[in-house]
Structures are given as C-alpha cells and as structure tokens.
Homo-oligomer: A and B are copies of this chain.
Amino acid sequence: MTSTESPRHRFAVRMDVALPPDMDPAFRDDLLTREKAYAQEWQRSGHWVSLWRIVGERANLSIFEVADHDELHAILWGLPLFPYMTMQVTPLAAHPSDIRAGD
C-alpha cells in the first residue's frame, strides 16, 4: 500500500479539537499554522494517508500507516493542537470482502 519496505500497520484516528473561545488570536493563528505544516509533513512522508473534515465539527477522521505503536504515538503526541484534542484510535485489519485484500 506504500512504497516503504518494512510492514505498515493501519489505524483510523478521530481527532476532536476544543479551542477556548477566548484564546489570543495571534497565538491561535500561530498554532493553526504550525498544525497545518506538521500535518502536511506527515502526509508527505506517507504516514498520514487520509485526512477528512467531519462536517459541522472542529474534528477530523484520519487514516495512518505506521511502523509501530511508538511511532503512531509520537506523531499524535507531537501535534501542536494535541493539548486541545480528544483522540479515538482504532486499529484496522484487512477485510475478507475487500476486493484489494488479495493483492
């Protein structure tokens, strides 16, 4: 599924963000700029393979492919918005009805 050689493990992660409404605007802009750069860096590296907005909420659904649990934890923990987030991490396996499962 990726071009790396070591086996990769897939996870769905839902991230809900709760920013205090009275956060300093400059601090907030900086935070969101760093968050975007950080998210795009891990997308380019092939670890953060999908990123979708959940309609109507400051939340996203993401798919990650990582070498191990420590790597996934380090990526999530390093998010600039991490202190404002609630995470839901779901390990995914191949589904027998997936038409690409036999590839």
Interface residues of A in 28-73 (CB under 8 A from B): 35-36, 39-40, 43-44, 51-57, 60-61, 67-70, 72-73
The binding surface of chain A is classed by DSSP as: mixed
A99 proximal to B (CB < 8 A): yes
A7 proximal to B (CB < 8 A): yes
Interface residues of A in 67-101 (CB under 8 A from B): 67-70, 72-73, 76-77, 83-84, 87, 89-99
Taking the full assembly, how many copies of this chain does it contain? 10
Supposing A9-B69, A68-B7, A69-B10 touch, asked if A51 and B87 sit within 8 A by C-beta, the answer is: no
Contact of A52 among B19, B72, B95 (CB under 8 A): B95
Report the interface size class on chain A: 35 or more
Q: What are 12 A-B pairs with beta-carbon distances under 8 A?
A: A9-B69, A10-B69, A12-B52, A36-B97, A51-B98, A55-B69, A55-B72, A61-B92, A69-B92, A70-B93, A70-B94, A91-B91
